[in-house]
Amino acid sequence: MSPAKYRTYGLELLMIAVAVIFLFPVYALVTLSMKNPRQIADSPLAPPLPPTLANFGNAWSAASLGPALVNSAVITAVSLLLLIVLGSTGAYFLARRLRGLGYGLYILFLLGIVLPFQLGMIPLYKLVDSLGWLGTYQGMVLFYTGIQLPFTVFLYTGFIRALPPDYAQAALIDGCDHRQAFTRVVFPLLRPITGTVIILNAVFIWNDFFTPLLYLGGSGKETVPVGVFSFVGQYVSDYGLVFAGLVLAALPILLVFLLLQRYVIKGFAGGLKG
């Protein structure tokens, strides 16, 4: 066997080992969620024989995951809609104005990525409090839109710069204004990067724990991470319920990722070309 084949087999074995390492936590999470306390005490990592699905129903009712999922879905969906609209239109202007005001605004957005948002937590909290939006969807949507907009603009700008400007110019020649040229011609071409924007922002918003705890604590509109946190503290000794609750909390965002994962590579590749 040639040395090249040995290297190929070695790399394949290495990739298999890395995959097993990354998949082991998922295996442990799913396995423990389908066991009763006695099975967990006897053999926590062995396959569940027989598996039980009762933990999922008990976790759903005990952790009040239904209302928490609705709260997370509303906040995530509205925030994503605003991020897509504001981020794509702002990036279109910045990508086509490479000098002067456009370049200065682009650098300003980049600073919004570099600076940690924890620096503005107290002023942001006071702002939301002064608006009377503590414990409301509006306060959370305002926070996430402002925090994630620089990153969204950065992604869209890189992708739009890689697009030939001829498409929009042809639409302008045909009688469209800039808004029509963007909405009818340019924005449909942004589908790959829009999928990337949706996935990355949705994962951040859905999994964020500290901000909903601070802004929504005690309001009855807590999101999934806060609901799971209170549930884990209450049922910490019943690991089957705890892991079942974690699986239910992760399923929606995992489904979104599986549906849109092909757009992530396309979006980043298109942006890197520019």
User: Could you read off the pLDDT of 36-45 as tens digits, one per residue?
Assistant: 878 887 787 8
So what's the pLDDT on residue 206? 93
Contacts of 259 (CB under 8 A, 6+ apart): none
Residue with tokens 């390492």: 21
So what's the pLDDT on residue 6? 72
Contacts of 177 (CB under 8 A, 6+ apart): none
Phi and psi based region of residue 100 (left: phi greater than 0; alpha: psi -120 to 50; beta: remaining):
left
Contacts of 203 (CB under 8 A, 6+ apart): 253, 257
pLDDT-based confidence at residue 2 (cuts at 50, 70, 90): low
Rounded CA separation 261/196 (Å): 8
pTM value > 0.85: no
**Residue 32 neighbours by CB distance under 10 Å:** 21
So what's the pLDDT on residue 83? 96
Rounded CA separation 64/146 (Å): 29
Percent of the chain with pLDDT strictly greater than 90: 18
First to last CA, the chain: 43
Could you tell me which of 163, 184, 159 has the C-alpha nearest to residue 174?
184
Q: What is the pLDDT of residues 47-104, one digit of tens each?
A: 888 888 888 888 888 777 888 899 999 999 999 999 999 999 988 888 877 666 777 7
